[in-house]
Every structure is written in C-alpha cells, then in structure tokens.
C-alpha cells in the first residue's frame, strides 16, 4: 500500500516520506479500513516534530490518528457485517499504536470504529475523532448542560467550534472567546449566542454583563494558562472548567484560593487518557449529535493528496486554519 511515515522526529519536509509498505491485515478483534481521509491534528504534528511530551517510541510511525473510510476486512471475532460499512475512527496512531491513518489501509480494534452516516463525507468524518470527541468530553464531562451557560474559549478552533455546537445542542446558552470578527462569525455559526474578543475586550466584564453578574456554569478552555488571568472570575459558584490545552503557558500559576472560594471543579484532560468506558461513551455521544444535527457544519480546513502530507502538516503548524486539515490517502 502507499503510506507516509517518519522514522525520526523533525521538520515535516525532512522526516516525512511517502512510499510503499505492506498492507496490514485485520487481526483478532480488528477491522481493516480502506482509508479515504486522514485528519491532521495539532498533536500529530507535535508528535512528528518532537514538540510533544510523549517522545518517539517506534522505529517507524505512520502519522495521523483520525480517519474515515470503508471497512474491507473483519478479523476473527468481529461481525462480518462490518465489511462494506462507511466508518470514522479514533486512536489510529495513539495508545501504543505506531501505524496511523496516513496510508491506504489501517487495521485497528473495532472499538475505535464507528459507522459514518451517509450524509457525512469522508473528509468530514476525519474531523470527528480528536476534535469532536475532545469537544464532547469538554462540554459534558461534568454532566448535562441544558439550561446552563457555557463559555468556550477559542470558539472558532477545530475543537472549540465543535464544543460550541455540542453545548448549544445540549441546551446551553453558549458564549465564545475569539480573536476577531471572522472567528466571531464562525463561533456564532456553531451556536454561540455571543462572542468576546479576548485580545481587545475585558472578558470578565463581558461575562458579568452577559450573565447578570452570576458567571458561567462551565468553561471549555483551549488555553488554560492564557485564560487564567480572568478565569476564576467568570465561573459561577460550583461551576466547572475543563481544559484541553495550555499552549501559551504549560505550567501556569494556579490561584488556589480563587478557585476554592467558588468551589470550581478544574478538569485538565487528554482525550486518549480517558478511561475506555468514557472514551466509548464520548464516541457514542458524537454519533448521537451527528444523527440529531445532520445539517450542522463539520469544518474541513483543506485537503491534500498523500504525496503532499508535509504541506498538510505545515498548514496545521502555521495556524489560522478553520477546522481540520485532511489528507486523502487514495489521492
């Protein structure tokens, strides 16, 4: 099969190679998928570049963890009816697995694979694993949000957009921080009732105005350290903050007394470290949302053929994208 891989971490143009490799076969409990789309997430780029904390544990890595395609083999112990199904997947190149989705085929446990509704394109399906599942856990980890207020920071990001959409679907009034008018329009398209430019406006003041001084019930944070200067001020009594990244300051000072006084739950998390049952519930939660909201946008920031995978990785590194960059392994 044609695949992309790297054997050492480093710059995309230097370490990413495209060539032929033996195709995998579905082992016990596995399905094999003929991949039509491979989602590139910031963590895939950090793992390849060496900017990740996880190091490099394999002789060869096929990058990218998310993807979508059609099942063409069911291994021992897997229902043969899987064959021919359109699917999306998570954990392709995570949890001890070296071979991800930047290849014509992947074999992986069927528990990471979910049927893709016909109204979702393969490229859109490749945006669901990390972005939508992270958003789902970020929004719902502390329980239902119906009737609550949720602040999504970075509401136009790949994860943030889905977080705003999922919180709105869950019945919350959603606010989002953004860096400008174009991103504000995108967060509003996802479901945000109001946006706040975190670069030019006083976030705590705006949230006080929007909530009648009460604060929000939940915050889903893309930048825990960056949000910290105002974060404890905007959360209501007994509220919760879930944080999936902290890129501007990975070791922010934590004002314990401000969080304790309001009894604020703080939940930093990494999707692939969630307990298997939670990961599974998250996957089914995304599936339920997809089917309930078939017309919801599922943003694809751009598509690249496999031969141009280094350009796809560079596009993620450059930032400023809207949605998920997708590589097409059959292209």
Ligand X SMILES: NC(=O)c1ccc[n+]([C@@H]2O[C@H](COP(=O)([O-])OP(=O)(O)OC[C@H]3O[C@@H](n4cnc5c(N)ncnc54)[C@H](OP(=O)(O)O)[C@@H]3O)[C@@H](O)[C@H]2O)c1
In the complex, the smallest distance separating the C-beta of residue 132 from ligand X, rounded to whole angstroms, is 10
Q: Is 222 in the site for ligand X (CB under 6 A)?
A: yes
Site for ligand X in 246-265 (CB under 6 A): 247-248
Binding mask 32-71 for ligand X (x = CB under 6 A): ---------xxx----------------------------
Q: Is 168 in the site for ligand X (CB under 6 A)?
A: no
Nearer to ligand X, 72 or 142 (CB): 142
From 37, 113, 156, 174, residue interacting with ligand X (rule: CB under 6 A): 156
Nearer to ligand X, 73 or 114 (CB): 114
Nearer to ligand X, 175 or 198 (CB): 198
In the complex, the smallest distance separating the C-beta of residue 273 from ligand X, rounded to whole angstroms, is 8
Taking alpha carbons only, the member of 143, 159, 322 closest to residue 243 is: 159
194-216 core/surface letters (b: 16 or more CB in 10 A; e: else)? bbbebeeeebbebbeebbeeebb
Nearer to ligand X, 87 or 315 (CB): 315
Taking alpha carbons only, the member of 209, 220, 127 closest to residue 167 is: 220
From 244, 279, 285, 300, residue interacting with ligand X (rule: CB under 6 A): 244
Q: Is 110 in the site for ligand X (CB under 6 A)?
A: no
From 129, 157, 215, 232, residue interacting with ligand X (rule: CB under 6 A): 157
Nearer to ligand X, 44 or 104 (CB): 44
Q: Is 153 in the site for ligand X (CB under 6 A)?
A: yes
- Show the tokens assigned to 98: 């070296």
- Show the tokens assigned to 37: 């789309």
In the complex, the smallest distance separating the C-beta of residue 15 from ligand X, rounded to whole angstroms, is 19
Binding piece for ligand X, criterion CB under 6 A, among 55-63, 141-149, 158-166, 288-296: 158-166
In the complex, the smallest distance separating the C-beta of residue 79 from ligand X, rounded to whole angstroms, is 30
- The CB-nearest residue to ligand X is 157
Site for ligand X in 122-151 (CB under 6 A): 130-131, 134
Q: Is 234 in the site for ligand X (CB under 6 A)?
A: no
140 touches 170 (CB < 8 A): yes
In the complex, the smallest distance separating the C-beta of residue 303 from ligand X, rounded to whole angstroms, is 16
In the complex, the smallest distance separating the C-beta of residue 140 from ligand X, rounded to whole angstroms, is 15
125 touches 37 (CB < 8 A): yes
Task: Tell me, by CB under 6 A, how many residues bind ligand X.
Answer: 29
Residues that bind ligand X (CB under 6 A): 41-43, 130-131, 134, 153-154, 156-160, 177, 179, 183, 198, 222-223, 226, 244-245, 247-248, 269-271, 319, 321
């Amino acid at each position: 099969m044609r695949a992309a891989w790297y054997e050492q971490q480093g710059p995309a143009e230097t370490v990413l190679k495209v060539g032929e490799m033996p195709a995998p076969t579905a082992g016990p409990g596995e399905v094999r998928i003929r991949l039509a789309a491979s989602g590139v997430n910031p963590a895939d780029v950090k793992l390849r570049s060496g900017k990740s904390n996880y190091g490099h544990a394999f002789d060869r890595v096929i990058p990218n963890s998310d993807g979508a395609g059609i099942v063409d083999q069911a291994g021992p112990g897997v229902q043969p009816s899987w064959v021919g199904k359109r699917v999306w997947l998570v954990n392709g190149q995570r949890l001890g697995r070296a071979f991800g989705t930047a290849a014509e085929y992947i074999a992986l446990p069927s528990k990471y694979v979910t049927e893709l509704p016909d109204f979702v394109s393969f490229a859109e399906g490749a945006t669901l694993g990390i972005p939508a599942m992270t958003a789902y856990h970020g929004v719902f980890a502390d329980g239902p949000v119906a009737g609550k207020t949720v602040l999504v920071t970075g509401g136009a990001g790949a994860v943030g957009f889905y977080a705003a959409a999922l919180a709105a679907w869950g019945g919350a009034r959603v606010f989002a921080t953004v860096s400008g008018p174009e991103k504000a329009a995108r967060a509003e398209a996802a479901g945000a009732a109001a946006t706040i430019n975190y670069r030019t406006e006083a976030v705590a003041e705006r949230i006080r105005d929007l909530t009648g001084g009460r604060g929000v019930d939940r915050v889903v944070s893309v930048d825990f350290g960056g949000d910290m200067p105002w974060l404890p001020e905007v959360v209501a009594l007994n509220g919760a903050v879930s944080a999936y990244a902290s890129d501007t300051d990975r070791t922010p000072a934590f004002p314990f007394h401000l969080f304790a006084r309001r009894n604020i739950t703080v939940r930093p998390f990494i999707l692939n470290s969630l307990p298997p049952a939670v990961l599974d519930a998250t996957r089914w939660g995304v599936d339920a949302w997809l089917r309930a909201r078939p017309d919801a946008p599922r943003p694809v920031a751009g598509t690249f053929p496999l031969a141009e995978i280094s350009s796809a990785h560079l596009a993620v590194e450059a930032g400023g994208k809207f949605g998920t960059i997708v590589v097409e392994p059959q292209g």
